[in-house]
Amino acid sequence: MPDTRERDRFLQFLRTRGLRVTQERLALFDEIFAQHKHIDAEELLAAMKTRGLKISRATVYRNLDLLVDCGLVRKQRLGRDRFLYEHVHGGQHHDHLVCTVCGRVVEFVSPGIVALQAEICRAHGFQASRHTLQISGLCNDCAGAQPVLQSVGAVKEGAARV
Amino acid sequence: MPDTRERDRFLQFLRTRGLRVTQERLALFDEIFAQHKHIDAEELLAAMKTRGLKISRATVYRNLDLLVDCGLVRKQRLGRDRFLYEHVHGGQHHDHLVCTVCGRVVEFVSPGIVALQAEICRAHGFQASRHTLQISGLCNDCAGAQPVLQSVGAVKEGAARV
DNA sequence: CTGAAATTTGAGACTGATTCTCAACAAAGA
DNA sequence: TCTTTGTTGAGAATCAGTCTCAAATTTCAG
């Protein structure tokens, strides 16, 4: 069980807040740490049902927010209408490239950008608590396959990768 | 009328697409170029009604998308649930600092970050069409006034600047 | 200027993600 | 084990944004 550290952190978080350690919370934790992609609440719910776990939609949403507060999960809109969740491992912050055709999400890390952001915050007397950088466009595959017709926003999100 | 250039561009856009120049489209154009802040569709609708203009919600949404396609308006979620729109003037791309307490939005420009983004795209064979960088945290005023208690997300968005 | 053809509009129904409500249930601790 | 109190589940509610379709408006040929 490689997620022991995170699991402990979650338990710690619950206790210090006087929250209860429920079956559902543990199951949700396990599920999202078993997933290695950006996933939305509905998919998460479905995945858990498939495994025979009983949990309701409301509980999934409620506890995802809890995991976000705890800092173990990141919640973002990556080009879609719904939120996508990803568990945070080591803690290295990364940003995203999102393909507007196939929906593929590529993560990247840029210390340079992080440094510049810090500088900007300093210049504006702004105390940053988080940031999101999202670059959307065409991924390698889709750029090759597509004609260069792209009227902005013409292609609706969420299509499967062709 | 300082927005003549943009207005012409819009008319041009409509004609080359075979779209009609309607009262509602012109009124919406005027309204959003009269606004000098990030504004959502509902506020825009209200502002127009206040001026005695008759226009429906559906039309506002439809034509905002048109203005976005035309490149004259930018549509983004800045920390809120709904989209905020801002008209694009000169064309210089900027990013945003968003205060999680008072909702204040500060714009900034960083050529350095833009350059790094381009580099990242090159490295990943990604053909970017747009990007959004949003830094959220506490603005100068709110950082001073707040106790350091901030449970993430405790303060709901949308409060006016106090 | 006039009428036909075709796009737009408006009112309200609809959608889909997310949140809320509240009675039944399950942790925690004495 | 019993009590207290936070949590869950089912479904209603919410809310931004979209869709439908008849009525209105724009275009343009005549």
* pLDDT tens, per residue, chain A with 162 residues: 568 899 999 999 999 999 999 999 999 999 999 999 999 999 999 999 999 999 999 999 999 999 999 999 999 999 889 999 999 987 678 999 999 888 889 999 999 999 999 999 999 999 999 999 999 999 999 887 654 443 333 333 332 222
Do B129 and A150 make contact, defined as CB atoms within 8 angstroms?
Answer: yes
In the numeric block, the tokens 């300082």 are attached to: B2
Distance CA A89, CA B35 (A): 43
High-pLDDT (> 90) share of chain A, %: 75
Cα radius of gyration (chain A):
18
Predicted pLDDT at B97: 96
* Cα A159–Cα A41–Cα B101 angle in degrees, nearest 5: 105
Say how far apart CA B162 and CA B67 lie, in whole Å: 32
Nearest to B19 by CA among B65, B81, B79, B88: B65
Q: For residues B13 and A41, what is the distance between their CA atoms, to the nearest angstrom?
A: 40
- What φ, ψ does residue A35 adopt, rounded to 5°? -85, 135
Q: Which two tokens stand for residue B48?
A: 């127009």
The whole-model pTM stands at 0.85
Reading the block at residue A93, the tokens are 């912050």
Nearest CA in chain A to B125: A140
Tell me the C-alpha distance between B27 and B17, whole Å: 19
Q: What is the Cα–Cα distance from B75 to B39, expressed in whole angstroms?
A: 10
Q: Whole-angstrom Cα distance, residue B109 to residue B87?
A: 16
More confident residue, B73 or B3: B73
Q: Which amino acid is at A60?
A: V
Q: What is the mean pLDDT of chain B?
A: 87
Partner residue opposite A127 with nearest CB, options B68, B134, B137:
B137
Residue-wise pLDDT for A75-95, tens only, equals 999 988 999 999 998 767 899
Q: Which two tokens stand for residue A114?
A: 């992080």
B69: nearest CB among A124, A137, A152: A152
